[in-house]
Each structure stands twice: as structure tokens, then as C-alpha cells.
Amino acid sequence: EADIYQTPRYLVIGTGKKITLECSQTMGHDKMYWYQQDPGMELHLIHYSYGVNSTEKGDLSSESTVSRIRTEHFPLTLESARPSHTSQYLCASRGNEQYFGPGTRLTVT
Amino acid sequence: GQNIDQPTEMTATEGAIVQINCTYQTSGFNGLFWYQQHAGEAPTFLSYNVLDGLEEKGRFSSFLSRSKGYSYLLLKELQMKDSASYLCAVRPTPQTGANNLFFGTGTRLTVIP
């Protein structure tokens, strides 16, 4: 069982709002990732981190930002949400194996 | 670049055996992963292969041939709950990339009675 958590699980929010999606893991993993996935579509890597104070953009351009101040915590922030940001956001962490959190389903109206 | 191919969809009968293939062309290789993802849920880890051969875990087995750039996931005694997408992911060597997993687009398996 993987110890990786995401909150909120579901979020409906209006356009222009600032939101932060939380991700935390208790496995002591240095590597953490954020993916974006639309229903029935493939995973797209949007951010990753190899450790504290390390953040990089992934393969898919995203208007979101991330921070990594603590090993266990890797929050993702959208400064001004738009309907195009509606998607599922999946956080993952990796030691030898990569585990995913349960995801946050975001709807921007 | 990185390229991972797997069939888009498969259908199999309850109780049968199904094999989901994955071929990859990546800049270096440091392991291959299989994940199961039910609709609307997060992927869950199934298996990890880094050496050639077969890894068995209950009803699921995964095979790897590094020389052929090929893997398969074998599901035995299929159950209705096995209907899901199965994702193949490859980790390149640290020296050649960011060491992130590259995911295929997934194979959507439908198990029918």
C-alpha cells in the first residue's frame, strides 16, 4: 500500500480563483511528480522534483507552478483557474517503484 | 526520443488469458513498469521488470526482453474487475534523460462474460 495522499479529491471552482492542490507522501521519496490526465486520455507529466528545492517543468506545458520545501510535500498551484484547466491531476512519488496518489478531479466553471 | 507502443483496445472473455504487448524505443533503459488504471481512478502499480525474463505475481505476470525492446503483461483467469486500462512505462537511464518514466497511451481491456 502506497502512502501518498492528495487533497482535495474533488474541486469545483470558478474562473479566476487561485487554487492549491496538495500532495504528500510518507515514504521518504526524493522524486515526486505531477501528471495531468483528461478522461480516457494518456498521462502528461507537467512538473517533477528530485528533492527539496528542486522543481522542473515536465513534457506538457502548464500554467501551474509547484514548490518543494519539504521532502514529503509537493503542492501544485494555479494562480488563476480557467475552464481549460479542468482535468484530473495525479501526484506520484518514486523510490524503486513509482506510486500514484488518488488524484484530484478539478472542474473550473 | 522516446517511443512506447501498445494496442489501444483489447477484449477478452471472463476466465480466459490475455496478453498485452508493449514495445519501446528509448534512449537507454533502466526498468519497465506496468500499471492498472480503472476509469476515473489513479494508476496502481502492478509490476516492475529490469532484467530479462518473467516476473509472476498471482494472476498477473510480466515479461521483458531488453534486446527486443519488448514486454508483455499476462493476465490469467480473467475477472470482470480486470476491465481497465493497462499502462506500460519505461524508465530511461539516468545519464540519458531526466530519469522520469515515459508512459504509453495505455491498453483499454474489456472483459466480457
Tell me the shortest Cα–Cα distance from A81 to chain B, in angstroms.
Answer: 22
- Mean pLDDT for A2-24 is 95
C-beta separation of B14 from B79 below 8 A: yes
A13-42 residues touching B, CB cutoff 8 A: 31, 33, 39-40, 42
Which cell numbers in the block locate residue B29?
533503459
Q: Name the average pLDDT for chain B.
A: 92
pLDDT tens sequence across A27-68? 999 999 999 999 888 899 999 999 999 999 988 878 999 999
Residue A94: CA count within 13 A, CB half-sphere:
18
CA distances to A7, B32, B65, B74, B98 from B29, rounded to whole Å, are 34, 8, 11, 21, 12
- Mean pLDDT for B102-108 is 94
Q: Is B39 on the interface with A (CB under 8 A)?
A: yes
pLDDT tens sequence across B23-55? 999 878 889 999 999 998 999 999 999 999 999
- Mean pLDDT for A89-104 is 94
A98–B45 CB contact, under 8 Å? yes
Q: Round the CA-based radius of gyration of chain A to a whole number and report it.
A: 13
Kindly indicate the confidence band of residue B100, based on its pLDDT and cuts at 50, 70 and 90: confident
pLDDT value at position A60? Answer: 82
A99–B101 CB contact, under 8 Å? no
Cβ neighbour number for residue B85 with a 10 Å cutoff: 22
User: Which of B39, B42, B87 is nearest residue A101 as measured by Cβ atoms?
Assistant: B42
C-beta separation of A81 from A108 below 8 A: yes
Q: Is A98 on the interface with B (CB under 8 A)?
A: yes
Q: Is B41 on the interface with A (CB under 8 A)?
A: yes
Q: How many CB pairs under 8 A join A and B?
A: 43
Q: Above 70 in pLDDT, residue B81?
A: yes
Q: Is B10 on the interface with A (CB under 8 A)?
A: no
